[in-house]
Amino acid sequence: MIAFGPVPSRRLGKSLGINNIPYKVCSYACVYCQIGRTIRMEVERRAFYNPGLILKEAKEKVEKARVKGEHVDYITFVPDGEPTLDINLGREAELLKELGIPLAILTNSSLIWREDVREDLIKFDFVSLKLDVVSEQLWRKIDRPHKSLKLDEILDGMLKFRKSFKGKLVTETMLIDGINYGDEFEEIAEFLKELKPDIAYIAIPTRPPAERWVKPANEETINEAFQIFAKALGSDRVEYLIGYEGNAFVFTGNVEEDLLSITSVHPMREDAVKDLLKKANAEWDVVEKLLKEGKLIELEYDGKRFYMRKLRSRNL
């Protein structure tokens, strides 16, 4: 099945997925990949499916969704491998535009050093670029790229793309346990400052990874990355993607749910929590209750106290 959904996406609302790459053809073999181990490592672009077939399947799905009264916010290329390996990607984007729905793509960025790939990506409205690390050693350890790829060329390609892309650009940084990040967050933040993404997402694995030893980074590490990225970009342009069910942006009117919703996307400073409680006409014992139940965690950073939703995925 090439077209699937629509499925709820915190970044994209209701998203109709396009699986334009067969399982599991990729330019990376990321240790945390939640699709599984890479079966075929490739970096040369080639044809996989007929672009007309992709349009046909997407059209059918969109029509079925509309009959059911479902709105499709984005058509998203999110396949079982690296979408930019598809040499017909630009043509497929052009065909899908006739459906009148914004186009999104989630790429590992590995081929963005190529001009033809950048030209294809410009045709999308929303582009998500993987940016796990900016140092060679950690890149090879975590993302395990095809041996012909060069990190400096990829980073340079991202900056070139940013200069010409007029749509919404986001980055995604996956954090895992057991990695000595050292000064890596500061170095990523410096690159982000130059790249100027609309949003820099911080993610963790939420489903079984390719390698059994991989676990999500702990809350302290995630909070540290958030604070450092936020210093470079502003806190309104850094968000978590930590895999909680439902829509983290919906306010329920229930102060406990509101607290857990917000802190699954952003850590909240103690004074911000107090302000929210005041608006809800609630007392601090709400926070104490959530801490006691293990739903909320208290963190210290740069002399300030923060609250973050406890990561259930750490217990998997």
Selection from 219, 306, 289 nearest residue 254 by Cα: 289
pLDDT tier for residue 232 given thresholds of 50, 70 and 90: very high
CB atoms < 10 A from the CB of 141, how many?
A: 12
- 46 and 107 part of one domain: yes
- 99 and 130 part of one domain: yes
- 28 and 117 part of one domain: yes
Q: Please indicate, yes or no, whether the overall pTM of this predicted structure exceeds 0.85.
A: no
- What mean pLDDT is predicted for residues 304-312? 78
Q: Is residue 249 part of a domain?
A: no
1 to each of 5, 6, 31, 162, 163, how far by Cα in Å?
Answer: 11, 13, 26, 32, 35
85 to each of 34, 88, 132, 299, 306, how far by Cα in Å?
Answer: 19, 9, 20, 41, 42
Note the pLDDT tens digit of each residue in 256-265.
877 886 776 5
Note the pLDDT tens digit of each residue in 168-220.
999 999 999 999 999 999 999 999 999 999 999 999 987 778 888 889 999 99
What 3-state DSSP class applies to 265? Answer: coil
Degrees (nearest 5) of the Cα angle 5, 143, 122? 55
d(CA 225, CA 228): 5
Q: What is the CATH number of the domain that holds 293?
A: 1.10.10.10
- 283 and 150 part of one domain: no
Count of domains for the chain = 2
Domain edge (last residue) among 243, 265, 300: 243
- What pLDDT score does 152 carry? 98
**Is the model more confident about 312 or about 250?**
312
- What pLDDT score does 192 carry? 98
**Whether 196 contacts 224, CB under 8 Å:** no
- 199 and 259 part of one domain: no
Note the pLDDT tens digit of each residue in 11-22.
888 888 899 998
Residue 300's H or E segment, with its range, is strand 296-301
- 70 and 170 part of one domain: yes
Q: Is residue 40 part of a domain?
A: yes
Note the pLDDT tens digit of each residue in 146-167.
999 999 999 999 999 999 999 9
- 24 and 52 part of one domain: yes
- What pLDDT score does 276 carry? 83
- 57 and 148 part of one domain: yes
> What does residue 107 show for φ and ψ, rounded to 5 degrees?
-120, 155
d(CA 44, CA 203): 28
pLDDT tier for residue 248 given thresholds of 50, 70 and 90: very low
Domain edge (last residue) among 243, 277, 303: 243
CB atoms < 10 A from the CB of 24, how many?
A: 19
pLDDT tier for residue 39 given thresholds of 50, 70 and 90: confident
Q: What is the CATH number of the domain that holds 87?
A: 3.20.20.70
pLDDT over 70 for what percent of the chain? 92
Q: Is residue 248 part of a domain?
A: no
Domain edge (last residue) among 243, 278, 299: 243
Query: Domain limits at 134?
Result: 3-243
